[in-house]
Structure 1
Amino acid sequence: MKNCILILAALISTNVMAKVNSVTSQCGNFTLVAKVGELTTVNGETVTSQKITEIGKNGLRVQMTLMPARDGNMYGFEYIRPDGDSKRRWLNVELIRTNMDQPRIIGSFDCKNTAG
């Protein structure tokens, strides 16, 4: 009985710690989940590359690619949190072209942190 309680307590604490070390942001139709020490997931898919750059003391820029996504397309993401006390965040998304003759498709979405 003590072993069952110990295992249950370990599982609960692991789930609590996983939520503490993650941030979920909703940017338009995109849901970003960032966990400490892991690659970001976008709509449930793990990005294939990620570069994080600090902007000042509190700012952050995260450049990510998803190649290929479930729908067969390739995407480039840029998440921006400016330096300072600003609560403003946004996500720039570009559909990566397979041919230079194709038009560029770029979108920009305001983000808000959600529970998670």
Structure 2
Amino acid sequence: MRTFFFLKGESDGLMHINGQAPETQKMTFLKQKDDFDNVMMQWMLPDAKTGRWLGLDYVKRNNKAILNVEVIRKNMDEPREFWTYDCRKVK
């Protein structure tokens, strides 16, 4: 099964992921303020399909972007589920 994440900035100031607003959003500029070519954005989002929380980290540096996604574990004995995606701009 292949998973895709569609990210879109909305008028509420949040980045919506697959049409859903995240519960939390944090933005960190990696070099200087308002440098959107070097930025990290972090979100927490409940996944309706699995009933679990997802932690998402979007990192853009030097015109290349990746998205790291981790299923948040309910306890430390569960195995980590972690994926990394190369991001592409959709027109």
TM range (shorter): 0.7 to 0.9
- The superposition leaves residues 55-79 of structure 1 with CA deviations (integer Å, 9 ceiling, x where unpaired) of 114310001101x221211100000
- 1:105 aligned residue: 81
How far apart are the structure 1 equivalents of 2:68 and 2:80? 13
How far apart are the structure 2 equivalents of 1:60 and 1:80? 6
Unaligned runs of 5+ in 1: 1-27
Larger Rg computed on CA atoms: 1
- 1:9 aligned residue: none
Q: How many residues align?
A: 84
How far apart are the structure 1 equivalents of 2:10 and 2:30? 20
What one-letter code is carried by the residue in structure 1 that aligns with 2:42?
Answer: Q
How far apart are the structure 2 equivalents of 1:55 and 1:112? 20
| TM superposition shift of 1:37 | 5.1
Asked whether the 8 Å contact 1:45–1:69 carries over to 2, the reply is no
Asked whether the 8 Å contact 1:94–1:106 carries over to 2, the reply is yes
Give the direction of change, closer, same or farther, for the CA distance of 1:55–1:37 in structure 2 (3 Å limit). farther
Unaligned runs of 5+ in 2: none
Q: TM-score, normalised by structure 1?
A: 0.66
- 1:87 aligned residue: 63
What one-letter code is carried by the residue in structure 2 that aligns with 1:75?
Answer: L
| TM superposition shift of 1:93 | 0.2
- Partner SS state of residue 76, structure 1: strand
How far apart are the structure 2 equivalents of 1:76 and 1:65? 5
| TM superposition shift of 1:99 | 1.2
RMSD over aligned Cα atoms? 1.5
Where does structure 1 differ by over 2 angstroms across 4 or more consecutive aligned residues?
A: none
Report the structure, 1 or 2, having the larger helix content: 1
- 2:4 aligned residue: 29
1:69 counterpart = 2:47: yes
